[in-house]
Amino acid sequence: MTMYDYTGEIEEKSMLVEFRVKNYGCFRDEQVLSFVPVREKPLQEENIYKTGCIDIQELLFVAVVYGANGGGKSTLLSALQSMLAISLFAEESDTMYKIPVKQFLFDEESIINPTEFEIRFLHEGYQYQYGFSCTEDRILDEYLFCYAKTRRQTIFDRHYDKINDTYVYKFGKYLHGKKNTLCTLTNEKNTFLCIAAKKNNQLFSVWSKLISLSTVITKKNFPDNKTVNKNILTDKILKDRICSFFYSSDIPIKDI
């Protein structure tokens, strides 16, 4: 089920366009991880994806983050992981649960301001823009926009009204279903997108693609060297396959 009745203007490949974060960890100001190429130096065509989108005609297949120790590389990945975790949380309100964010602590203004996340991605022929701001206690703002023929279309926009202690929602004309019910099911620590995706098939593909594009794989996802060595030495089939690989690669190792 597609979000719109007309055909998307860009190709079907799903790709991350950019990720933005502000007031998180060691980041006081907004930081951007972008896959939009900068034409300061010529790039090989095999590194570029032609999107067919008017405002974003090309994207990089790979981006590299580098810098000195303590420069924020790990924090950038941590921020992306936090956005993913928050977007996945769909439990009922739990007073003990804290949203996994950590504001910049070396600035009086930043301490009291929320953390902000935003991601842009291509999916099913459209460019989507999704973001939210939050503290560890609640989601304050959340929005999902879709760009078709360079025009921004609102799918939903959610804002916390502190004076009346309630959420104000704005919906675009393309989101169908029992929207009021979805609003009721979404508590202060849930993202509306997550709840809506689980109850409304119209948003499920957008949410699931957001999750897959936000997944971060680090060394923590893999066993340590000691465990790997133990597995190789105790699993004859695995050891034989590794030795066979060495042999086929012309590496003179017969046994481990």
Tens-digit pLDDT profile for residues 49-90: 888 777 778 888 888 888 888 889 999 999 999 999 999 887
Nearest CA among 142, 103, 144 for reference residue 126: 144
Q: What is the pTM of this model?
A: 0.80
CA angle at 60 for the pair 88 and 129, rounded to the nearest 5°: 40
* Mean pLDDT (whole number) for 220-248: 80
Give the C-alpha separation, 76 to 6, whole Å: 36
**What is the structure's pLDDT at 17?**
92
Strand (E) or helix (H) holding 86: helix 73-88
Local confidence band at 8 (pLDDT 50, 70, 90 cut-offs) = very low
Give the C-alpha separation, 103 to 115, whole Å: 6
Give the C-alpha separation, 162 to 112, whole Å: 15
Does the pLDDT of residue 13 top 80, yes or no? no
Strand 139-148 relative to strand 151-161: parallel, antiparallel, unpaired?
antiparallel
User: Based on the number of CB atoms within 10 Å of its own CB, is 234 exposed (0-12), middle (13-18) or buried (19 or more)?
Assistant: exposed
Give the C-alpha separation, 176 to 179, whole Å: 7
Q: Report residue 214 as tokens.
A: 């936000």
Question: Which residue would you say has higher pLDDT here, 94 or 83?
Answer: 83
**What is the structure's pLDDT at 42?**
65
Does the pLDDT of residue 219 top 70, yes or no? no
Instruction: Kindly give the interhelix angle for 236-248 and 225-234, rounded to the nearest 10 degrees.
Output: 100
